Amino acid sequence: MRNVIGQAVVGDDLYGRDYELARLWETLEQGEHILMLAPRRVGKTSLMLELRRAPRENWNVIYVDVERGDGPADFVAAVLAALAADRRYRSRFETIPFSGAVKDVLGRFQSVSVDVDVLRVELKGAIGREWDHAADQLQARLTNLPAAGANLLIIVDELPFLVSRMLRTAERKHDAEMLLSRLRHWRQAPELRGKVRTLVGGSIGLEGVLRRASLSGLINDLAPFHLDSWDRPTAVEFMKALGNGCDFRLDDASIARILDLLRDPVPYHVQLFFSTLRDACRNKPSRVSPEMIERCFEERLAGASGTAHLDHYAERLEIAFGEREHEMARDILGRACRREDGAGFAELEDLRQRSGQMYLSVLRDLEADGYVRHEGSRLKFRSNLLRKWWRKYHDRGVAP
């Protein structure tokens, strides 16, 4: 197992997710379609890619990431490209020819070994505004794509990003609605039942994004799958295994200190802490001390250099929320970050009085997206790392 920071991990590098993988397969085999929910860096993409790397018998899996897309043509092009580039589907895919520009693109790439990203860009250009038509053609092929008795799983990563980008303008709101209706249609079409399953996921809660646009009905048939950070014993075992692998073994007290400081063992944060500490100690475990661990946390992880790893928490608020809600979210987080034990709800009462429903809706999303959680009568940051960093770089209230 390697100390991987940033890239999705699969196979031997994917730690402690056997239960989640088994649950995902079980849910899919029961015929459900899945909405995977978790904040960024918890390991969604890793799990999705592991489903593709080691599928269960009789399952074929394709994976597309639509994070950078801006419209429904991106989605259709991504799925088409993934299918057309896949050896298992390529020949069967061509038995029903597409029409027009899509056909030309697929024809040109027929005999060459296909780079899926290039194909995707070409297909998007060919589809243009006719995405609905291309989606029809794709659907007709999905009916006979999986071999007899086999299932096709289509994984769509970061769909909420694509959807929330589309919801920003009135014209594209209609497109977003059409795209989500199309996906629902795939889930419900009798000819696809028992053959095609979808798993959609992402780092901003699709539920919240759609609720604000009054479109929640379009996903209420999906089975929600909540992916959490590791539990503490898994994080402990992970650090031991990692230490054994690179001759940087940490004692129990050091591991406990690291996990106390992080509080929420987000896999990425654990990987990052390990690597930062190892570098600071130049791979000599004898140099590890409580002060060294503390310094790594304060100055590196929660310091300016941590911004590269944590800034996405701030960015995605801008993407997920409209302007007023964004203000509200920052106000709530600002109040909750000042103390390790968070803010009492009494301290948030003025926000509730002022904005009622909007306050409740933002609060719900901040909880669903993994920023904060209720504990008794208090609202706390889940991650103490994020809290510290937020306090330093985003809190516009009382100076630290």
- Give the CA radius of gyration of the chain: 23
Q: Quick one: what does residue 9 bind among ligand ADP, Mg ion, none, with the CB cut-off 5 to 8 Å set by partner type?
A: ligand ADP
In what helix (H) or strand (E) does residue 296 lie, and over which residues does it extend?
A: none
The answer to whether residue 24 forms part of the interface with ligand ADP (CB under 6 A) is no
Contacts of 130 (CB under 8 A, 6+ apart): 100
Using CB atoms within 10 Å of the CB of residue 204, give its burial: 0 to 12 exposed, 13 to 18 middle, 19+ buried.
Answer: buried
Site for ligand ADP in 260-299 (CB under 6 A): 267-268, 271
Q: Are 271 and 16 in contact (CB under 8 A)?
A: no
Q: Which is closer to ligand ADP, CB of 80 or CB of 242?
A: 242
Q: Which is closer to Mg ion, CB of 36 or CB of 296?
A: 36
Helices assigned H by DSSP within the chain:
18-29, 44-53, 72-84, 87-93, 100-108, 116-127, 131-142, 159-166, 170-188, 206-212, 232-246, 252-262, 267-280, 290-295, 307-320, 323-336, 349-355, 357-368, 384-393
The answer to whether residue 383 forms part of the interface with Mg ion (CB under 5 A) is no
The residue from 10, 33, 46, 165 that contacts ligand ADP (CB under 6 A) is 46
Chain centroid to CA 291: 34
Q: Report the residue closest to ligand ADP, judged by CB.
A: 43
Q: How far is CA 58 from CA 141, 153, 194, in A?
A: 19, 11, 12
DSSP state of 61: E
The answer to whether residue 22 forms part of the interface with ligand ADP (CB under 6 A) is no
The answer to whether residue 5 forms part of the interface with ligand ADP (CB under 6 A) is yes
Q: Which is closer to ligand ADP, CB of 42 or CB of 348?
A: 42
Q: Are 76 and 119 in contact (CB under 8 A)?
A: no
Q: Quick one: what does residue 17 bind among Mg ion, ligand ADP, none, with the CB cut-off 5 to 8 Å set by partner type?
A: ligand ADP
Q: Quick one: what does residue 6 bind among ligand ADP, Mg ion, none, with the CB cut-off 5 to 8 Å set by partner type?
A: ligand ADP
Q: How far is the CB of 50 from ligand ADP (least distance, A)?
A: 9
> Pairing mode, if any, of strands 378-381 and 343-344?
antiparallel
Q: How far is the CB of 51 from ligand ADP (least distance, A)?
A: 12
The residue from 42, 114, 222, 301 that contacts ligand ADP (CB under 6 A) is 42
Q: Which residue has the tokens 């299918």?
A: 83
Q: How far is the CB of 88 from ligand ADP (least distance, A)?
A: 25
The residue from 24, 34, 41, 306 that contacts ligand ADP (CB under 6 A) is 41
The answer to whether residue 316 forms part of the interface with ligand ADP (CB under 6 A) is no
Q: How many residues bind ligand ADP (CB under 6 A)?
A: 22
Given the rule CB under 6 A, which residues bind ligand ADP? 4-9, 14-17, 38, 40-46, 203, 267-268, 271
**List of residues contacting Mg ion (CB under 5 A):** 44-45
